[in-house]
Every structure is written in structure tokens, then in C-alpha cells.
Amino acid sequence: MVNQQVAQKFYKTADLLEILGENPFRVRAYRNAARTIESLGRDLSEMVAQGEDLTKLPGIGKDLAEKIKEIIATGSFSKLRELEEKVPPGLVELLKVEGLGPKRIKTLYDTLGITSLEELREAAAKGEISKLPGFGKKLEQTILKGVVLAKKEGRRFRWAYAEAFAVELVRFLKKARGLKEIEVAGSYRRKKETVGDLDILVTAREPAQIIDHFVTFPDIKTVISKGQTRSTVILSSDIQVDLRAVEEESYGSALHYFTGSKAHNIAIRSIALKAGLKINEYGVFKGEKRIAGRSEDEIFSAVGLPFIEPELRENRGEIEAAMEGRLPRLITLEDIKGDLHCHTKWSDGKHTVSEMAEAASSLGYSYIAITDHSRRLAMIKGLDDEKLLEQAREIKEVRARFPDIHILHGIEVDILEDGSLDLSDEALSRLDIVVAAIHSKFKLSKEKQTERLLRAIDNPRVNIIAHPTGRLIGERDGYDLDMERVMEHAKARGCILELNAQPSRLDLNDVHLKLAKEMGIKVSIATDSHNKDNLLFMRFGINQARRGWLERQDVVNCLPVEGLKKLLKSQS
């Protein structure tokens, strides 16, 4: 841990020195030292603590040894801090761009004042870079592509975010003359929680016409490439879109190939090979003869398999299941009968109980659980015993006005640091449903955090654990938990685990959901709505549930209301 940190600081120092055009020997000394440290079998902080002589390490002199000590003591060192003051932070990122070394970065900075990837992209797009001495048109193109890759590196978009662009693009492309079929393939079609880029496939009378139309999409920031049958662009949101036009006779194969995942494709290919077939994005071939390619159904049946839903195509057992005729019948939005986690104005929600009930009713639900926060979350007016009683009176009154929908009175009760709950058993026992969740002390040790959750699961009043891991996609990892123990405990106690459908949460994730299903743990797919529009997040939960192999019978809010009430009662 410390070694990596020290090495990183040295690498960064070398980069900055190089951008500033300083002595190449100094630059090399830092890189060599970084490499030595990376491959060191021992912990530097220990060596320092034991007073060992660091200069015995190859490439580490007196000066660098002092700096290592400084990094261990303070997290950085003064020379680096000095350099960081001198060099704009965006310049270091430019090093990731193919075709750009520190010298060229210095030129770009000195002449065009470029200090970030975005400024570099703009300058390249305007053709300013090719005018600089020693750069040229070809290098400009390389840089443009390099910027895209550098920006993309590690950058992924939440599925729900990408969806808005995918839908818009498909609508736009459908206006092109001669378009026949269109599908957004890739991770998007597999409904992965995050999407790296969008892969669109079309068939068309005149592919070039579609490509011409595609590059006029108003939201495009950069056209990376444009050929007869394919084009790549970057949208203003930085999402990359690859468009490919394919022959109709290959559409099914291309769709299968570009839907992926890569791991699934490779597994399917090896099945084909065993059967003496060749499979690629153009078709399934026996010798020279194409025996399938028009549709995905054709592709699967050519290799002796039933159709496998895109959400399952991760090579996580779907091929074996398909061979053995035990593919799941994946849950759909229509299977959902209600929502079991919703907030109102009683805590931090935007709408009243009656407004939420009405919205749920208009979705055709037969029940909704009102689960506001408990008192511990004082900033957002969490409910105490007394408030809960008041809320019960209001719910009773709303029930009379909405006879079509069952309103369950519940709570999202806080799990305190020791695993006890924020409200008395007596208060909880008056409720129809209790959802328990962690909202504080995210940084407890794995042992403590796990024990905390196990204790909450132990409480017979608790029906459901909400967003069990606490992760926020792209923002925050989940709490440090032993999920295996949590799930075993949930199984033993008959506790339901939530699949929170908020696009930023999707918690549990696909892998945990599949595990839950295999263990026989029931799942509640719930929106955690804070306003009535949020009720529509249910479909994101369904996407994730399908990736987790869930079927109707695995999900408690597919039960009719009597069945649900019976289940809840059986838990306590």
C-alpha cells in the first residue's frame, strides 16, 4: 500500500519534470526508483520504522531515501508540491494521449495555452494543432483519437443515463431514408449497470446514406471516423457511439457478436468449434457454407441452443443452463404488483401519502408501502413513535379514499452502529412492514459492519434490508461487508433483501442477486421513491433483476397482496 503510494509520487514527479523540460537524468532517476519500489517485496514503512538503510536499495540515493521518508510521514514531499504548483493539473492527463510526450505537451501549452484534454480536443478539432511546427495533419488525427481514448479510460456511464442518448439516437436514425432494422447492442442491450459506449447496428438499403445522416445528429461533439458502413462519434456528454451497417443475411450474427459479452461470445464459439462449425460476426459456417446469420434465433439454434436473453450473456452459467434446458424465465415489469419502499412528505419525500398512493394506483399496482425515515435521521425529519402514530391516522384516512390499492404502513428504520434499531420493538410491531437500512458509520471494520447487519437481520420485526451494500455506482463503494455471511444469515432468518432500483444504487448487484436466488433468499425490488416520478425507476430494478437471473417467484412484490401479507407475518 505505502510502496504503491511512494512509487506513484515518484512517477508523477518524473512526468512533471519532463513536461517542464528539466534534466532527463533526474527524470530517469525518479522512474527507476519508482520501479524499484513497486517490485520491492517488503513494506517501506516497516523498513523505515526499523531504521534500515534505504540507500542499499538499487537506484535509491541519499536524496531519494529522504524523500521516501517524507512521503511516508506526510503523504507527499516538498519538491513534488512545488512542481504541482508550477504545472496545471490537466497537463499531466495529456500524457495519456497517444502521440503526445512531455515535449509536445510543453509546446502545446506554450503556444496554444492547452491545459486539459478538453482544450486539446477542441484545438485538434479546429485544425489548430496541425499548424504547429513539427505536428502535421496525421499527428493531429492521432491526437484526436488519443484524446477520446484517454477520456474514455475508465469512464463509464450509468445505464439509465446512457439510455436517454440511446433512445434519442434511435429515434433520429429511424428518420433516415432506407433504414430497415436497428438495435443498440453491447453492454447496453445486456442492461449492464454501467455502459462504456453505445454500439448501434443497422441494416439499410444504402448504408452510406445512414452514415451520412448519423453524423448530422445534433448532439455530436466530434466525429472520430466516418466510412461507408461504419462511423464513430462522441456526443457532447462524452459518450462514444459506434454505428455499424451490416448485410441483412448477417444481421443476426452481428447482433449476437456485438451484444457480447466477449466472454459469452468466446464460449459460444468454442461450442460451435466442437460441432465442426465456424462462427463470427458474419454468420455460422459449415466449411464455406453459411448455415445461419439472419437472426439471433438462427444463430443459437445452429449451435444447438435455445435463445438466451441478452441480460444473461455473461458466461456465468447461461450456456450450461441453456444446454440442460433450465434457463430462467426472467421477471418482467408486468410481474410487479407493488412497491415496498417509498418516502413521503412525512420525511424527505416530495409528495403526500395520498399523492403517492394515487400514482402507484395509476401504475396498476395493488399495493404500496409507505416507508419514511426514522428519527435518527433528524436532518430530514425522521419519524419518532409519536409521529408514526400521527402518520398511521393519515394513512387510515387515505385508505378510505383509495379502495383500489392497499397502503401498507411501514418505516425505513435506521440500523444504529451496534446493529440495534432506531425505534422500539413496540413501535415497529404496530407497522405492516419494516425496512431496515444503514445510513451512517459507513467506515466500520468489516467485522463490525457485518455483525451490525447480522444483528439487524436477527430482529424479528425486520422484514427487509434495504440497499444492503450501500454502494453508489461510480461514487462510493459499498461498506466493507462479508456478504456471504450476511446472505447466509438472511437465508437462515427468512429475511428479505432489497434490490434498490434507484439508478445510482442498483443494490444488490447482479452477482449478489444470482447468489441470493441460488440460496433461496427472497428479493424485494423497490424504488426507494422520494417523489411520485421515482416510482418509474422500477424498470431499472427489473433490468438488474434479470441480470441476476431472477424469476417472478424469487421476488416478493410479485405476490398478490394476500400472499405478501402472509409472508410478512410469517417472518416475525
Q: Which of the choices ligand DGT, Ca ion, none does residue 260 contact, using the CB cut-off of 5 to 8 A by kind?
A: ligand DGT
260 binds ligand DGT (CB under 6 A): yes
Which range in 89-97, 260-268, 291-299, 354-362 contacts ligand DGT by CB under 6 A? 260-268
Q: Which of the choices Ca ion, ligand DGT, none does residue 257 contact, using the CB cut-off of 5 to 8 A by kind?
A: ligand DGT
Helices and strands, number each (H, E), in the chain: 24, 17
H-run or E-run covering 151: helix 136-152
With H, G, I as helix, E, B as strand and everything else as coil, classify residue 556. helix
Beta-sheet strands, E only, within 75-165:
157-158
163 binds Ca ion (CB under 5 A): no
Which of 199, 335, 414, 554 touches ligand DGT by CB under 6 A? Answer: 199
Please confirm whether the linkage preceding 389 is cis (ω < 30° from 0). Answer: no
Q: At what angle do helices 510-519 and 538-547 cross, to 10 degrees?
A: 70
Which range in 70-78, 253-261, 359-367, 463-471 contacts ligand DGT by CB under 6 A? 253-261
DSSP secondary structure letters along 8-35: HHHHHHHHHHHHTT--HHHHHHHHHHHH
242 binds Ca ion (CB under 5 A): yes
Nearer to Ca ion, 230 or 399 (CB): 230
Which of 140, 197, 318, 335 touches ligand DGT by CB under 6 A? Answer: 197
Q: Please tell me the count of residues contacting ligand DGT according to CB under 6 A.
A: 14
266 binds ligand DGT (CB under 6 A): yes
258 binds ligand DGT (CB under 6 A): yes
Question: Where in 170-209 is the site for Ca ion (CB under 5 A)?
Answer: 186-187, 197, 199
Closest distance to Ca ion from the beta carbon of 258 (Å): 8
User: First and final CA of the chain: distance in angstroms?
Assistant: 45
474 binds ligand DGT (CB under 6 A): no
Please check whether residue 400 is in contact with residue 363, taking contact to mean a CB–CB distance below 8 angstroms.
no
Q: Which of the choices Ca ion, ligand DGT, none does residue 478 contact, using the CB cut-off of 5 to 8 A by kind?
A: none
Q: Which of the choices Ca ion, ligand DGT, none does residue 431 contact, using the CB cut-off of 5 to 8 A by kind?
A: none
Closest distance to Ca ion from the beta carbon of 239 (Å): 10
Burial of 541 (0-12, 13-18, 19+ CB in 10 A): buried
Return d(Cα 251, Cα 254) in angstroms, integer.
5
Which of 261, 295, 366, 571 touches ligand DGT by CB under 6 A? Answer: 261
283 binds ligand DGT (CB under 6 A): no
315 binds ligand DGT (CB under 6 A): no
Which range in 193-201, 332-340, 511-519, 557-565 contacts ligand DGT by CB under 6 A? 193-201
Please check whether residue 380 is in contact with residue 352, taking contact to mean a CB–CB distance below 8 angstroms.
no
With H, G, I as helix, E, B as strand and everything else as coil, classify residue 376. coil
Closest distance to ligand DGT from the beta carbon of 148 (Å): 14
246 binds ligand DGT (CB under 6 A): no
The amino acid occupying position 299 is I
Closest distance to ligand DGT from the beta carbon of 185 (Å): 7
Return d(Cα 350, Cα 565) in angstroms, integer.
27
Which of 3, 45, 231, 265 touches ligand DGT by CB under 6 A? Answer: 265
How wide is the angle at C-alpha 482 spanned by C-alphas 476 and 486, nearest 5°?
Answer: 105
**Residues comprising the chain, all counted:** 572
Return d(Cα 146, Cα 123) in angstroms, integer.
13
Joined together, the cell numbers standing for residue 351 give 409528495
Q: Which of the choices ligand DGT, Ca ion, none does residue 262 contact, using the CB cut-off of 5 to 8 A by kind?
A: ligand DGT
Q: What phi, psi does 109 have (nearest 5°)?
A: -70, -45
165 binds ligand DGT (CB under 6 A): no
Which of 195, 272, 322, 501 touches ligand DGT by CB under 6 A? Answer: 195
Q: Which of the choices ligand DGT, Ca ion, none does residue 183 contact, using the CB cut-off of 5 to 8 A by kind?
A: none
Return d(Cα 117, Cα 223) in angstroms, integer.
16
3-state secondary structure 276-330: CCEEECCEEEECCEEEECCCHHHHHHHCCCCCCCHHHCCCCCHHHHHHCCCCCCE
Which of 186, 293, 310, 338 touches ligand DGT by CB under 6 A? Answer: 186
Nearer to Ca ion, 156 or 343 (CB): 156
Nearer to Ca ion, 13 or 232 (CB): 232
CA distances from 532 to 349, 359, 373, 415, 420 (A): 9, 6, 17, 26, 31
196 binds ligand DGT (CB under 6 A): yes
Using CB positions, name the residue nearest to Ca ion. Answer: 186
Burial of 25 (0-12, 13-18, 19+ CB in 10 A): exposed
Q: What is the DSSP letter of 214?
A: H
Binding mask 341-380 for ligand DGT (x = CB under 6 A): ----------------------------------------
Using CB positions, name the residue nearest to ligand DGT. Answer: 260
User: Where along the sequence are the contacts to ligand DGT (CB under 6 A)?
Assistant: 186-187, 192, 195-197, 199, 257-258, 260-262, 265-266
Q: Which residues of the chain form contacts with Ca ion (CB under 5 A)?
A: 186-187, 197, 199, 242
